[in-house]
Structure 1
Amino acid sequence: MDFLRHVKNILHTYWIGFVCLIYQVLWRPKELKDLQQHNGCVAIVTGGDGDIGMETVRALCRHGMHVIIGVKEETNGQSVEAAIKATCPFAKLDCLPLDLASFASIQKFVQQFKAKGLPLHVLVNNAGIMHAPFAPTASSSGSLESHLGINYLGHFVLTRLLLDMLKRSGTKERCARIVNVSSAVHAISTIDSIKEIQFSKFYCPYGAYGQSKLAVTLGTYELDRRLRDAEFPITVNCLHPGLADTNLFRHLSPVLQPVKNLCAWLGFMWTPSQGARTPVFLSLSEEVEHTSGKYFDNCQAVPSSPSSYDVRLQKELWNWSCEITQLPCDIQDEINIHYT
C-alpha cells in the first residue's frame, strides 16, 4: 500500500509539473507595474540566499524597504549582500543566521532582530527544501521529517514569535503582511487526520514535499481566521511561485536533470526573477492591501486544492503545531518559552 502511494505521489507530482509548464508557455508571468516605494518599511525574507529569495530581496530593496535576510550559512548572506548592492547600491539589508530546522535558532534570530529596534511590516516565509532524502529535524529530537519541519513548522514558529511585532507595525489603513510560499504540488496530498502527517513506514520525498506545502496552505487559512477574529491589522496569503529554474531541483533524479535543463533553456520554466514576482506582488502591491486568506498563482487569487479548505483539518493542524512547538493556541496569549 505504501509503495503504491509512493508511485502515485511521483506520477501526480510530474503531472502537476507538466500542467504548470503548459500554463507557463501559454500565459507569461505578470508584469509588476505601479508598485509604490515603501521607504522606511522593514521586511524579513527567509531563504534570502536562494534563487527566488534573493530576487525577492532585490525587488523589496529597490522599492525602498530595509530587508533582513534569514540565512543558514553566514557566508552565503555576505555574498547575497554583495550581489544585491552591486545592482542596487543604496539597498538597506542585513543578514542574520537562521536554521529553520532548529527552534532554538529561530528564537535566537527573533531576539537578534528585535534587538535592532526596527518595526516589521512584511514577513516572507520563502525558505524550503524539495524532494530531499529522509532526515529528521534537529528541533524535534528526530521526531519530525525535514520537509515538514523546515517548510512548514519552522515558519510556523517564526511567524508566531514575530506576530506581536507585525501587530504593532500594522494599521487598519496599511496592514502588516505575511507571505507564505506554498506550491501547486500541495494538491497531490490529502490528509484525513493529522496522524497521517508523518510518513512512518515508507518515506517518499515527493509525498513529503507535497504534504509540507499542503500544511503551509492549511496553516495560512487557519491563521487568517484567527487574525480576523482577534482583529489584528495583519494579512496572510500563500502562493505558488511558478515552476522556476532554481536550486530547489538539486535533488531531482540525474535521469531527469537533462529534461529540466532543456525546459529551462527553451523558456518553459520561469527564471528566479519571474518566480519572485508573486511574492513581491503580495508584499508590496496596493491591489491586495486588505486581501487575506487567499492562494495566489501568477499574481492572481486562484482556488487551492479541495483538501486545503477542510476547516476541521485546518484547526487540527493548528492545535497539533502548537502542541509540538509548545506555543499557546490563542494568538493573543503571551508567549513564554525558551527553546534549547
Structure 2
Amino acid sequence: MIWYLLTVLLIIPLYLLSLFCLSPKDKKDLLEEIKWELKYLWLGFQAVIDDLFKIWKNKTDLPRRKGDVVVMTGGLRGIGLEVIRMLLECDMIVVVGCRDIEKGEHFANKMRMEGTTLGKLDFKTLDVSSMESVRNFAAAVKKDYPKIHVLINNAAVMYVPYAITSEGYETQFATNYLGHFLLTHLLLKQLDATGTEDAPARVVHISSVAHELGGINFDDINFEKEYYIAYKAYSQSKLAQLLFGLYLNEILKERKSNVRSYVVHPGIVNTELFNNTIVKKTSPFILGLWFKPPDKGAVPIVFCAISPQAKHLDGCYVSNCLKKETPVTKNSKDLQQKLFNFSTDLLKIEEFGKS
C-alpha cells in the first residue's frame, strides 16, 4: 500500500510544475483536473482497503441452471470474460452483445479447448453507445430468445477523451448508462414473462464506487458548457446507473412484476479500464499488487445474477456480495425519479418496459 501513497505524492509535484507553462484559464482547468485526480485516488484507496477487509465474504455458489438464458453487454475483456466462464459452469445460455463477433468466437473456441464443456455461447453485434445498435440487438435477442432469465448491464468505458456519439450523447453517459437504460426497457417484457414469484428474473447493473463523487448535470448532460473532465463524466455515468438500478426495483415491485433489479460494485479490479489512469501509467505494478484480479471482480456480479443467497439484496447496492450503504443509496429518491423521467424523455419512451 505504501507504493500507492508514494505514487500520489509523485503525481502532485508533477502537476504543480506544469502549471507554470499554462495560461490562467488552462491553469484553472488543470487545477480542476488535479482535484478530481486526487479525489479518485483517495476514493480508490478507501475502496481497496474495503476490499481487503471484506474479500472473505466475496464468494458465490454456482447452481446448475441448464438452459436458462443470460443476456450480457460487453464481456470480451476483464471482468466480463470471467463472468462468462462462471455462467457457463452453471450450464446456462449466455448471449453476449459485443462489437467484435469474430473476437467473441475466437474466445469461445479457446474456452472449449481449455475444457469448458457446459453451457452455450451466442454472440450478437452490439455497440451499447449507439441507441440504434441497442434496438437492433434487442430485436435479435427477442427473436431468438422469448424467455430471458437474467440481463447483465456490463459494458463500460472509463476516463475516455471527450466525444459525442452520432446520436448526440457524451460517450461515457451513452455507453455506461443510457444504452443500458434503453436495453432494459426493450427486454423487460421477456424478463417479466420468464420470472416467477419464487424465482424472479434479474437485472444486474454494474456501477462503481465512483458514483460517490458524481452528480447529474441535467442542464448540461453532455459537458458542452463546461470544461470536460473524464473523471467527472465517468462518475456521472456510474451514478446514473446506480440511481436507475435502485429506482427500477421500486417500479417493478409496484407493478407486481416478476423481475428484480440489483446494482453491483465489482471492486477495484485490475482490468484494461484503468489504462487511461495516472496510476496505471506511472506505477502499473500497483494494480497487480493491490487491485482485485478479474475473477474476484466477477464474483459479486454472478452472485447477484443467479445465487439464491442474493434474493434479499434486490434494490440494493452490493459490494463483495454484501449490501453497502452510501449517501446516495440512503437519500436519493427524488433524484432517482428525476433521472428516470429525464431519460424516458430523452429516449422518447412513453411507457417504460412496454415495447
The verdict on a shared fold, with TM-score over 0.5 as the criterion, is: yes
Distance 2:331 2:185 in 1: 22
Letter in 1 for 2:171: S
Distance 2:192 2:301 in 1: 20
Q: Within 5 Å, which residues of 2 pair with 1:303-314? A: 303-306=325-328, 309-314=331-336
Give a deviation string over 1:177-236, Cα, whole Å, max 9, x none: 000000001111134x52253322200000010110000011111111111111111110
**Count of residue pairs the alignment pairs up:** 326
2:131 is the alignment partner of 1:108: no
The aligned counterpart of 1:155 is 180
- Secondary structure of 2:72 counterpart: strand
Please report how far the alpha carbon of residue 130 of structure 1 lies from its aligned counterpart in structure 2 after TM superposition: 0.3
Q: Within 5 Å, which residues of 2 pair with 1:54-69? A: 54-69=81-96
TM-score for both structures, normalised by structure 2: 0.86
Letter in 1 for 2:52: V
Unaligned runs of 5+ in 1: 336-340
2:222 is the alignment partner of 1:198: yes
The alignment yields a C-alpha RMSD, in angstroms, of 1.9
The aligned counterpart of 1:219 is 244
Distance 1:251 1:237 in 2: 28
Are the aligned partners of 2:205 and 2:263 in contact in 1 as well (CA < 8 Å)?
yes
Distance 1:115 1:232 in 2: 22
Distance 1:308 1:68 in 2: 34
Q: Which structure shows the higher helix fraction? A: 2
The aligned counterpart of 1:338 is none
- Secondary structure of 1:276 counterpart: helix
- Secondary structure of 1:87 counterpart: coil
Match of 1:137 among 142, 146, 165: 165
Distance 2:58 2:129 in 1: 34
Identical amino acids, percent of aligned pairs: 32
2:117 is the alignment partner of 1:95: no
Return the index of the structure with the highest Cα Rg: 2
Please report how far the alpha carbon of residue 327 of structure 1 lies from its aligned counterpart in structure 2 after TM superposition: 1.0
Please report how far the alpha carbon of residue 87 of structure 1 lies from its aligned counterpart in structure 2 after TM superposition: 3.3
The aligned counterpart of 1:283 is 305
Distance 1:290 1:29 in 2: 20
Q: CA separation of 1:283/1:307 partners in 2, compared to 1, >3 Å: closer, same or farther?
A: closer
Are the aligned partners of 2:148 and 2:201 in contact in 1 as well (CA < 8 Å)?
yes
Please report how far the alpha carbon of residue 256 of structure 1 lies from its aligned counterpart in structure 2 after TM superposition: 4.1
- Secondary structure of 1:287 counterpart: helix
Unaligned runs of 5+ in 2: 1-27
Match of 1:183 among 197, 201, 208: 208
The aligned counterpart of 1:79 is 106
Match of 2:288 among 254, 258, 265: 265
TM-score for both structures, normalised by structure 1: 0.90
Are the aligned partners of 1:74 and 1:95 in contact in 2 as well (CA < 8 Å)?
yes
- Secondary structure of 2:313 counterpart: coil
Give a deviation string over 1:46-93, Cα, whole Å, max 9, x none: 111121111101101101111001111112211221233233123311
